[in-house]
Structure 1
Amino acid sequence: MISAIANTIFQLVIEDYHRYDEIDHPMENPYDRQSLEHLLYRKCWIDTAQWHMEDVVRNPDITPEEGLNWKRRIDKQNQIRTDTVEYIDSFYLQQYSDVQVKEDARINTESPAWAIDRLSILALKIYHMEVETSRIDVDQAHIASCKSKLNVLLEQRKDLSQSIDELLTDIAAGNKYMKVYKQMKMYNDPSLNPVLYKKTP
């Protein structure tokens, strides 16, 4: 099942990243560039770096200039994340292109890749919440609260993993079909963001 593969890769990515724990450390993707595994590794690496960017930008001592620079980096990273999700969906569109869709087939509320996107973020939440349960500089109330939250996150991962596997099984059987809608982020497009295009001479 794809969820088991994805969860394994996401765990590997997070462990690989935290060997260095540096936002700008280059990604060393061990999978073949043409494979789904390569895309999954890339996806989670992008998410992991962005997770830590989000931590940095919330430092109350950061200067406005530094904060703006980090915000722009996060914005750029988020666009790369979105592009990678769309690559994953393109992989699935190709994989299931020959499936005979049944007349009563239904479309899902989100595409497989956007569900996998949530699974990647969940992997990060689980990792960092687990870290919180092992701290020795906090009181037991903090530990207990984090353990309770961790249990919820683990249950969410179980449910989401099952849902992703069932969705892909339904698509393969023709019971559901998928469409990919580009995110069309208007604020990144100089021709669509009025703050940008009104500056154009």
Structure 2
Amino acid sequence: MFTQLCNKIFNESIADYHQYDDVNRLISNPYEKSSIEHLLYLKNWIDTVQWHLEDIIRNPQIDPVEALGIKRWIDRSNQERTDVVEYIDSYFLEKYKTVVPAANASINTESPAWAIDRLSILALKIYHMQEEVNRTDASEEHRQACQRKLNVLQEQQRDLSAAIEELLSDIAAGKKFMKVYKQMKMYNDPSLNPVLYKNEQ
């Protein structure tokens, strides 16, 4: 199943990152650049680095200049994440391009790649909640509370994986059709963000 591949690669990316736990470390993607595996690994690597940037920026002792730099890094990361999601959707558009949708075919609330985006984030939540469950310096109450949360996250992962598989099956069978809207982020575009274009006048 496709989601088994996703979860395997997401876990691999997370484990690779945590060998060094360094947001500045450059990605070493082990997969062929033209493959879907390469995109899945890249997607999760971006998510993993951003997860830790979000942790760093919440340090109450952080230098304001450093915090601003990280905020802008997060903005760039969000754009990269969106771009990779669109590349993943392009893979599915190509894969299913010969499918003729049934007359009563419907559109899904989100594209396959945006559902896979949520699956990537879930893998990160599971990894870090497992870390909390395993903490030897935390109270038993804390570990038990985190175990309950972990159980829910794992259930979410199973449910979301099943839903993605059903969506892909329905697209392949012509029961649903894909329609991808390119994300039109405005805050990074100097011609669309009023704070940016007013400063240029």
| TM tier, smaller | over 0.9
Deviation at 1:199, TM superposition (A): 1.4
CA distance in 1, matches of 2:199, 2:135: 50
Is 1:18 equivalent to 2:9 in the alignment? no
* Aligned twin of 1:167: 167
Letter in 2 for 1:4: Q
Deviation at 1:87, TM superposition (A): 0.5
Q: Deviations over 1:143-184 (max 9, x none)?
A: 011000000000000000000011001001100001111110
Tell me the matched-pair count: 201
Say what the alpha-carbon RMSD is for the aligned residues.
0.6
Letter in 2 for 1:43: K
Length-normalised TM-score, structure 1: 0.99
* Aligned twin of 1:145: 145
Is 1:59 equivalent to 2:48 in the alignment? no
CA distance in 2, matches of 1:81, 1:72: 14
For residue 155 of structure 1, give the secondary structure of its aligned residue in structure 2.
helix
1:1-201 alignment, distance < 5 Å: 1-201=1-201
Tell me, which stretches of 5 or more residues in structure 2 are unaligned? none
Q: Deviations over 1:112-142 (max 9, x none)?
A: 0000000000000000000000111111110
Q: Percent identity?
A: 62
Letter in 1 for 2:127: Y
CA distance in 2, matches of 1:195, 1:25: 32
Deviation at 1:52, TM superposition (A): 0.4
Deviation at 1:24, TM superposition (A): 1.3
Tell me, which stretches of 5 or more residues in structure 1 are unaligned? none
Length-normalised TM-score, structure 2: 0.99
CA distance in 2, matches of 1:149, 1:67: 30
Large movers: runs of 4+ above 2 Å: none
Letter in 2 for 1:194: P
